Amino acid sequence: MVDRPNKPAALATTPGLPPQAQVNITHDNSRVNAVLPSGESIEVLLYGATVTSWKDRAGNERLWLSDAAKLDGSKAVRGGIPLVFPVFGTAPDHAATSKLPQHGFARTSIWEFMGSSTSESTGKSDNSVKLDFGLSQSNLTDESKKLWPHPFSLQYSVTLTPDSLGTGMVITNQGDQPFEAQLLMHTYLRVKDITKVSVTGLEESDYVDKVDAAKTKKQSGTVTISGETDRVYTPAKGPSHPVVVSEGGAATFTVVRDNLDDVVVWNPWIEKAAGMGDFEPKDGYKNMICIEAGAVKGWQKLEAGDAFEGAQVISV
Ligand SMILES: O=P(O)(O)OC[C@H]1O[C@H](O)[C@H](O)[C@@H](O)[C@@H]1O
């Protein structure tokens, strides 16, 4: 298990409200759980600040998590919402990040739980809870610090409402030299049958097709999945235009982005799933689609003291 001293949980109790009307937040040294009074819940591992579970009020899981996912801090989590920073994939031609492992170090670092706020405590009426996490240079392993020697901070918030999950990141350059970074929220959405899934909102958008020699193509019509799919879209209509995942014609997830220009659509399909040791069951590719909101084409340059902010809200 990840074992790290942690701050005490922010108490989410409101005097005068019965327990069943309050957000219930629990945490130990490795994870934070929050349950809304209406029954929806999330779980976030401190390892990677990875959201590993998002359940509806009946207890049905909305994210896909591999049965063989490592949750003990030995490997990035296969499923949920791993965080990609400061490099998407690998970047052999980008000197500053070329030595980093695939997808950087955010998903394999141990984050701090900074506390929580609820609609009860903030006076909002939306029955929500926000969990805050932080990572900075001092949290990194010596190895990561050596490979990416920039003072930085990441502030990550995960907001649950009865009908949405929001994730937001603020990247701050805390050093006196500029750095360049990429960011992506690698969301594994759970679906019933991938062959019935269609994705709208990407029409007429340019994309890089990573399974076809990284050719740039243009999407015509909706996206359907019938084989290995690994595409980096820059949606033509911008971040606030929703990307909608439908099954059998009914919308199941609507993703709206803020300041994140790109959307990766990924499904490993049969062979790639078979080749991943932590992907179980092997036919699990039928039950997932990754819709990954990010800023990954090119680089975000942060001058000393600058901050970059990006977010997504996934509604059901
Ligand atoms: O196996 P991982 O390092 O978790 O990466 C999983 C996937 O992430 C993204 O979706 C990339 O576009 C894919 O090329 C990659 O295969």
Query: What ipTM was predicted for this assembly?
Result: 0.98
Residue 229 in any domain: the answer is no
Question: Whole-angstrom distance between the N-terminal and C-terminal Cα of the chain?
Answer: 32
CA 305, distance to chain mean position in Å, is 25
* DSSP letter, residue 9: P
Span 297-309, pLDDT tens digits? 999 999 999 999 9
* Ligand 1 pocket, residue 103 CB under 6 Å: yes
Q: Is residue 177 part of a domain?
A: yes
pTM: 0.94
Residue 263 lies in a domain: yes
The atom number, within ligand 1, closest to the CA of 76 reads 4
- Among 10-24, 116-130, 234-248, the range with the most confident prediction by mean pLDDT is 234-248
Mean pLDDT for 32-36 is: 97
CA-102 nearest atom, ligand 1: 3
Residue 231 included in any domain: no
Compute the mean pLDDT over every residue in the chain, rounded to the nearest whole number. 93
Query: What pairs with residue 296 in β-bridges?
Result: none
Residue 236 lies in a domain: no
> What does the pLDDT read at residue 5?
38
102 C-beta closer than 6 A to ligand 1: yes
Query: What are the distances in angstroms from CA 236 to CA 118, 204, 206, 215, 229?
Result: 35, 6, 7, 17, 20
CB 160 within 8 A of CB 32: no
Number of domains in the chain: 1
Domain holding 119, by residue range, is 22-192+258-315
The 3-state DSSP class for residue 46 equals coil
Q: Does the C-beta of 179 come closer than 6 Å to ligand 1?
A: no
User: What pLDDT does residue 15 have?
Assistant: 55
User: Residue 33 belongs to a domain with what CATH number?
Assistant: 2.70.98.10
Amino acid identity, residue 174?
Q
The whole-angstrom separation of Cα 201 and Cα 223 is 9
Compute the residue count for the chain.
316
What is residue 284's three-state secondary structure?
helix
Q: What is the pLDDT of residues 52-107, one digit of tens each?
A: 999 999 999 999 999 999 999 999 999 999 999 999 999 999 999 999 999 999 99
The reply to whether 103 belongs to the active site is no
- Range name among 11-15, 38-42, 130-134 with the lowest pLDDT average: 11-15
Sequence-distant (6+) residues with CB within 8 A of 140 are 105, 109, 148
> Looking at ligand 1, which residue's alpha carbon is closest to its atom 13?
230
In a domain, 185, yes or no: yes
The residue type of 29 is N
Q: Active-site residue 271, yes or no?
A: no
Asked whether residue 57 is marked as a ligand-binding residue, the answer is no
Point out the ligand 1 atom lying closest to the alpha carbon of residue 78: 4
Interatomic CA distance for residues 95 and 85, integer angstroms: 15
The reply to whether 66 falls in a domain is yes
If you take atom 10 of ligand 1, which residue's CA is the nearest one? 266
Please check whether residue 234 lies inside any domain of the structure.
no
- The reply to whether 78 sits in an annotated binding site is yes
Provide the pLDDT confidence category of residue 6 given band limits of 50, 70 and 90.
very low
Confidence of residue 227 (pLDDT cuts 50, 70, 90): very high
